[in-house]
Structure 1
Amino acid sequence: MQFWYSLYRIILLLFQQQQLTSPIKRILLFLGGWFIVSSSFGQQINDNQCNSLPPGTLSGEFGLVNEVGCAPLQVGISNKQIVSVKNRYIFDYKGGSPDTYKTTTDSSFTYTKSGLYVVMKLSESSTGQLQRACKVVTVQNPTPPEFRVLICSNGTAALSITNHAITEYEEYVIEWGDGNVTIINKFNLFAQYRYQDNSSKTITVQGRHRVSNCVKKSSKTISLESNSKPATISKLEILDATTGELTISNPNLLELEVYRQEGAGVFKTLGTIVKNADEKVRVLVDTNKIFCYKIKPRDSCAATLESNVVCSSFIRITRESDANVVSIQPYLHPSEVKTMTVKRNDTVWWNPTVTQWFRPDNEGQCGKETCYRLEINTQDALIISNRICAEPPPSLCNPLGHLFVPDVFTPNGDGVNDLFEVKGEVDGDPQILIYDRWGSVIFHNSINVRNWNGAINGSPAPPGAYLYRINVTDKVGRTFVKRGTVSLLR
């Protein structure tokens, strides 16, 4: 059947190019349409018994009032046979034996939906001989056309039909609201028109079915001074090591193309086309590279309506014996960043600043992975990094056995608890570092001085809390780092 419709389109196009008078053109179009419809039904109906008459059955005849028209369409039967009795009708014959259908003696019927329908007449001659005849009814869709208008910077209006798949009008008559008219057909559902002034215009589009002259129209008022909104990328989410997903808003229903930039390179098209108002598009990513994305209209009229730019950002984990060090990739355009959040197991854990790119995590649940993800809120979009998981640090789940580190010591010379002394089952002497509140090292043990006596450069350190770091190797060769705080009392 597709072949016949294609042939009909060609006939329409040829007739439109010829300088024929309107009555002649309508007759030719009607005959061409009738030929196509009649031929197509011979193909699309299974077991079509309109043309293959059973033995002893004569070919009947009848006429139809309103063979072609808009839904709802009422058709009437006009009997052209001189002798025809016991007339019965099937108004939606779809193939097979007529005996399986419920017939009616009513000579009129109303079709409420568009489509092609077969009317079958069953009758008898005066001698009781069976007669059969069929005709095709074309019911066309009267749905008003829908259209969108994009206003370009030079006062040009770009109009496109958006619901042709439903209406299927053969042509559309566009009244631009200033006395000028453009006619487009179903092979080109787009038109441009340049206005001479900036006053508001009411555009009317009328859809027409040529054969039936079925027409419907719709209108909208536009302002030539208003600027159309560009497309927006509202979200970039990294799904895995090679896949990202863009969430795109396309308010003008333009045909958009996705572009990608690698590092500081130029934007290049990915060949991906976006047409819907809201759409999600998968893109290739690489967690070792920074990619940026934007959307550009394919229509030169709207070339300036580029979207915002979003760039990928990633998170990494460096495993140490006492902590998982979480580091983030700085965003390529830091001035656009509003907030940054690292979530640990989907709960907010860290809010990095523009100068803070890593943080150690020495917590966790033994036997269970901890997962991290970075979220960046920019002025226009949400960037979600890759999700990365790691086991807790080894020191957390494999603690150093029998290691004693005091919480407090009193270097007052009474011979009791005068030294910060680390004891345990270790291989060799542990390395001890003591820090003041500003992070400066104030004590470092050595072969000659193994423990801290509470002095800084030979002078008594003031009472208070001091940070320590102990590097130690146990008797089975495992190396650990232990951090903590010791209180100095006098």
Structure 2
Amino acid sequence: MNLARTAPHFSGILLFFLFFSFSISQAQTDQCAPAGQFTGSLQVDLGVGCLPLKVKASSGLRDATNIRYVFDYQGGTVKESDLTRDPVFTYRKPGLFRILQYSEQAGRQLRACAIIQVYDTLQPEVVLTGCLTKVTLSIPKAAEYQYDWYSIDWGDGSQERLAGGAAPSVSHTYSTATQRVISVRGLHLYGNCGGTTRVAFRPDTQASAPVIDQVRAISANAIDLSIRNSNGNRFYIEQRVPGGAYVRTTTRPETTNPVIRVTADTTTAVCFRLVLADTCLQATPSAEVCYAPPKPPDPVPVADSTVFMPDAFSPNADGINDRFQLQGLLSGTARLTVYNRWGEVVFFTTDVLTGWDGKQKDQAVPPGSYSYLLDVEKPGGNRIQKRGAVLVMK
């Protein structure tokens, strides 16, 4: 800091300023440390508060001039660029801060300091444990917030103050099952400020467990459970392989109709059920719902490997075995000729898959045995003939 620039026309004062600056920088590294040597008068309108904290500094001396500030003085010498003449400053992070003030009075360099306490406004993490219409509220990380107390609005017109501590907790009972919004505000004693958390709670008058509506495989090791939880109760998911014991997972939130993904081997069967997390409700587990991996697809039939002609059929229009037709997958083309016992052709077709309906010229043939010739031409040009007999039944 070049103090000579503040009084260029007074050589005696200049020597004093130079000596003062030199002695400060050499004899001490912290200009706010030595007690009883502050000759100025620093006043701050708000020395304690929460983020963001806006302060306004001033001098208590009426005739003080050339007033400058360092609002976050860290110790050591002060450069000209560290100084500001603006008396208003906003702190945007929590902690203890020091304000260093320089001023002049009747040619004397004055100095004063003040400490500012800025509190954080962290929203307290709140854990609710419900049992019918009773809820227990706890703040497990209270030691991290350092609030002196917590103001609780239960959402039903009731308010309560909870002292701070390692892990404070308190219980409240509602008169009805209407959903409430609970507001928890952490407060610092000095400044009367802090952060607020709001969380919904639905009192329950029925101890009914949620149910699993659907299980659906997502990947080789993940299954989605579609759950119906009309009362919004907290619950566990339990799962097991068929014949094994149930294994419990972590607690699930109070959600009405969630879809929850669980880790499971989808190449084997696995079963699930839901159990209420609050044991005071004394509800039985939900019905078991199992997942079974899909069956592998049937093998694709190989052409000609299963081709055959039946040895009997009953063309009586009952919808069962009414036609004499080729069965199986055939490669190539085929012709079917049917003969009566005198060797006369009673039926001929190239549509062997549709086959014969047991009629000759739209008239039903008499029951009995008929011979046939199946003439097959393969894609390569080879011909295969199959002869046999078929029994026409009533």
Distance 2:76 2:210 in 1: 53
The counterpart of 2:334, out of the listed 405, 408, 411, is 405
- Seen in structure 2, the aligned counterparts of structure 1 residues 101 and 307 have a Cα distance that, compared at 3 Å, is farther
- What's the CA shift for 1:414? 3.3
Does the Cα contact within 8 Å between 1:231 and 1:250 map onto a contact in 2? yes
Task: Give the C-alpha shift of residue 140 in structure 1.
Answer: 4.0
Contact 1:140 1:209 in 2 (8 A): no
TM-score after normalising by structure 1: 0.44
What is the distance in 1 between the residues matched to 2:203 and 2:272?
30
The Cα offsets for residues 235-288 of structure 1, whole Å up to 9 and x where unpaired, read as 543344444354678899876543113225442224x45458567444132523
Q: CA deviation at 1:79?
A: 4.3
Distance 1:54-1:95 versus aligned 2 partners, 3 A rule:
closer
Matches of 2:243 and 2:216 in 1, distance apart? 21
- Residue matched to 1:135: 115
Whether the 8 Å contact between 2:179 and 2:202 is mirrored in structure 1 is: yes
CA drift of 1:317 comes to: 1.7
1:451 counterpart residue number: 387
CA-to-aligned-CA distance 1:268-315 (integer Å, 9 cap, x gap): 224x45458567444132523x21223445443456496675421211
Structure 1 residues 63 and 419: alpha-carbon distance in aligned structure 2, compared to 1, 3 A threshold = same
Tell whether the 8 Å contact from 1:170 to 1:185 is kept in structure 2 after alignment.
yes
> What percentage of aligned pairs have identical amino acids?
19
Measured in 2, the distance between the counterparts of 1:63 and 1:185 equals 32
2: CA distance between counterparts of 1:178 and 1:93? 47
**Following the alignment from structure 1 to structure 2, what is the Cα–Cα distance between the partners of residues 249 and 114?**
45
Alignment of 1:29-428 (within 5 A): 54-55=25-26, 59-60=31-32, 62-71=42-51, 73-77=53-57, 79=59, 86-91=66-71, 99=79, 103-111=83-91, 115-116=94-95, 118-123=97-102, 133=113, 135-141=115-121, 152-153=131-132, 155-159=133-137, 169-174=147-152, 181=160, 183=162, 185=164, 187-188=166-167, 190-194=169-173, 205-214=184-193, 226-227=205-206, 236-246=215-225, 256-270=235-249, 272-275=250-253, 280-285=260-265, 287-288=267-268, 290-301=269-280, 304=283, 309-317=288-296, 319-322=298-301, 403-406=332-335, 409-411=337-339, 413-415=343-345, 417=348, 419-423=372-376
Task: Evaluate the alpha carbon distance shift between residue 135 and residue 451 of structure 1 in structure 2; reply closer, same or farther with a 3 A threshold.
Answer: farther
Q: Using a 3 Å threshold, how does the CA distance of structure 1 residues 220 and 72 change in structure 2: closer, same or farther?
A: same
| Alpha-carbon contact 1:420-1:451 (below 8 Å) kept | yes
- In structure 1, runs of 5+ residues without a counterpart are 1-52, 324-394, 427-431, 433-449, 463-490
Structure label with greater radius of gyration:
2
- 3-state SS, counterpart of residue 387 of structure 2: coil
Give the letter aligned to residue 414 of structure 1. E
Structure 1, residues 68-109: CA drift from partner, whole Å, max 9, x if none?
224454323254799975332344568999649664323233
- The whole-number CA distance in structure 2 between the counterparts of 1:228 and 1:95 is 63
Root-mean-square deviation (CA, aligned residues, Å) is 5.5
Task: State the 1:174 CA deviation.
Answer: 3.9
User: Contact 2:188/2:194 (CA < 8 Å) preserved in 1?
Assistant: yes
Q: Show CA shifts across 1:378-408 (max 9, x none).
A: xxxxxxxxxxxxxxxxx99xx85xx5433x5
Equivalents in 1 of 2:261, 2:202: separation in Å?
32
Q: Which amino acid aligns with 2:86?
A: D
Q: Which amino acid aligns with 2:26?
A: P
1:70–1:142 Cα contact (<8 Å) kept: no
Partners of 2:232 and 2:143 in 1: how far apart? 16
Any conservation in 2 of the 1:209–1:215 contact (CA below 8 Å)?
Answer: yes
Cα distance, 1:225 vs structure 2: 6.6
Give the Cα–Cα distance (whole angstroms) in 1 for the partners of residues 226 and 203 of structure 2. 30
**Equivalent position amino acid for 1:423 in 2:** V
Report the residue type matching 1:419 in the other structure: Y
Gaps of 5+ in 2: 1-23, 33-37, 303-327, 349-370, 380-384
Q: 1:59 to 1:85 in 2, by over 3 A?
A: farther
Looking at structure 2, the residues matched to 101 and 252 of structure 1 have their Cα atoms a distance apart, in angstroms, of: 63
Rate the CA distance shift 1:147–1:320 in 2: closer, same or farther, 3 A.
Answer: closer
Give the 3 Å change call, closer, same or farther, for CA 94–274 of structure 1 in structure 2. farther
TM-score normalised by length of structure 2: 0.53
CA distances 1:182-201 after superposition (whole Å, capped 9, x unpaired)? 62536436432346x65979
1:181 deviates by: 4.5
Alignment CA distance shift 1:295-1:249 (3 Å): same
Q: CA deviation at 1:421?
A: 1.2
Q: What per-residue deviation string (whole Å, max 9, x for no partner) do you get for residues 4-25 of structure 1?
A: xxxxxxxxxxxxxxxxxxxxxx
Asked whether the 8 Å contact 1:150–1:228 carries over to 2, the reply is: no
Gap change, CA 1:163 and 1:414, over 3 Å in 2? farther
SS at match of 1:106: coil
